[in-house]
Amino acid sequence: MISKLGIYVQVPFCQTKCTYCNFHTGVVASSRFAPYVEAVCREIREHRELLKAAGVGWGSGIDEKAHSQDSSRPDLATGQRGLCHEDVVDTVYIGGGTPSLLDSGHLQNILDAVRETFAGNLEEVTLEADPETVAAEKAAAWARAGINRVSFGLQSFADKELIAAGRMHRRADIYRAVPILREAGVGNISFDLIAGLPHQTKESWRQSLGELAALAPEHVSVYLLEIDEGSRLGKELLQGGGRYSAGAVPSEDEMAESYEIAQEALGAAGYHHYEISNWAKPGFESRHNLKYWRREPYLGFGAGAHSFSGTERWANAHDAAAYAAAVQSGRLPVEQHEKLTTESALEEELFLGLRQLDGIDVGRIERQYGVTLGGRFERIASAGLVEREGSLVRLAPEKLSVSNEVFVELLR
Ligand code: SF4
């Protein structure tokens, strides 16, 4: 099977900094957007030359294998079958940050650059958006540009939680934004919720899930709150203080319980749980994100964007201004460049594969990598962490909320 390429575009700008977040995103003047977008478009158009000059093996190994060998034969170093993905794209994901802050013309320019550079139909084009940034004219322009999926960072329907987390939107913005998108013709909407925001209670969590189900988005992601140590909330947790509601952060057990409540509520509302953090109405699983878990190739553009060729992983430098200046001078600031060993490819295969609720086919992996995994799985199966069905192994449904523990056990 030939994998089509996914394109990720990173837009590292936000209106403000959420209290729990320490991502490499900046709150900058909007005059900084245009030069950044120009650099991203140049990186897209000149990616082959830029990657070659940066020493990344894009366009050298994989294509040759695909053309010269039996493409059904896997590459042992990567577990990938021969790929012929260099020029054929079917998904684009514009993430951030808050990419919906950009002018719609900027988004159009980025998608034009993708269409001019790659072949294929852009079947799924996702834009991450915050509800307060949605307006009728913008949404119509997004749809005209080919954006057919909007992923909303809602996090909660409770204003008290949104305020404490430093989010810009309020519950009312969600109810204003969704009809605007529907009116513009966006038929695929995803909502993100966070379990464990400060001040969240079991009741407010159930209320958020209920309001979400009533709005009937096609896709839902539920994340457990992760507090970066360098964020304002993280520092308050470590050093004390009352400004960011550190004392009102639910415990890990409460978060795990919230996850289980979400599993039940979303299942009852007709959502199919297909990945640890993701649920979808039938046929609305994120095609782009599935590529990450299936180890299919993707190219990331923009500051801090990650890429995977099937044999190598790399990332661009994070600083947006330095990234833009480098690309405009004809150089790609690549860092974290890693050529995968067979061992690291196998580990990825297990951890990324097990994130999917369908599980992994251990027999296929053993054949592909020439290894025996039976012992490893027997141990965690007898501890009740995974279920086995013939050659298939999947996380036990009641262990999904503690999946990290399962992964640690698997590594031992
Ligand atoms: S909008 Fe997202 S990226 Fe920006 S500060 Fe908030 S959590 Fe971080």
Distance CA 377, CA 373 (A): 7
pLDDT band at 400 (very low <50, low <70, confident <90, very high): confident
Query: What's the 328 CA to ligand 1 centre distance in angstroms?
Result: 27
10's enclosing H/E stretch is: strand 5-11
The string of pLDDT tens digits covering residues 326-376 is 999 999 999 999 999 999 999 999 999 999 999 999 999 999 999 998 788
Residues with beta carbon inside 6 Å of ligand 1? 14, 17-18, 21, 23, 25, 96-98, 153
Q: Whole-model pTM? A: 0.92
**Token duo for residue 392:** 């298939």
- Cβ-contact 107, 142 below 8 angstroms: yes
Query: So what's the pLDDT on residue 86?
Result: 63
Position 109 pLDDT exceeds 50: yes
The string of pLDDT tens digits covering residues 285-312 is 999 999 999 999 999 999 999 999 999 9
The string of pLDDT tens digits covering residues 210-241 is 999 999 999 999 999 988 889 999 999 899 88
The string of pLDDT tens digits covering residues 369-391 is 999 987 888 888 888 888 989 88
Distance CA 149, CA 139 (A): 11
Query: What's the 14 CA to ligand 1 centre distance in angstroms?
Result: 6
Sheet with 219-224, edge to edge strand ranges: 272-275, 278-280, 219-224, 189-195, 149-155, 124-129, 89-96, 5-11, 298-301, 306-308, 312-316, 334-339
Pairing of strands 124-129, 149-155: parallel
Integer CA distances (angstroms), 91 to 163, 258, 288, 296, 323, in order: 34, 32, 6, 12, 24
Query: What's the 27 CA to ligand 1 centre distance in angstroms?
Result: 10
In 240-320, DSSP assigns E strands to 272-275, 278-280, 298-301, 306-308, 312-316
For 37, phi and psi rounded to 5 degrees? -65, -40
Give the residue whose CA is nearest to atom 8 of ligand 1.
21
Query: What's the 67 CA to ligand 1 centre distance in angstroms?
Result: 42
Query: What's the 168 CA to ligand 1 centre distance in angstroms?
Result: 10
Taking the CA of residue 97 as reference, the ligand 1 atom at the shortest distance is 3
Distance CA 129, CA 150 (A): 7
- Cβ-contact 174, 134 below 8 angstroms: no
Give the residue whose CA is nearest to atom 6 of ligand 1.
18
The string of pLDDT tens digits covering residues 148-183 is 999 999 999 999 999 999 999 999 999 999 999 999
- Cβ-contact 342, 369 below 8 angstroms: yes
Give the residue whose CA is nearest to atom 5 of ligand 1.
17
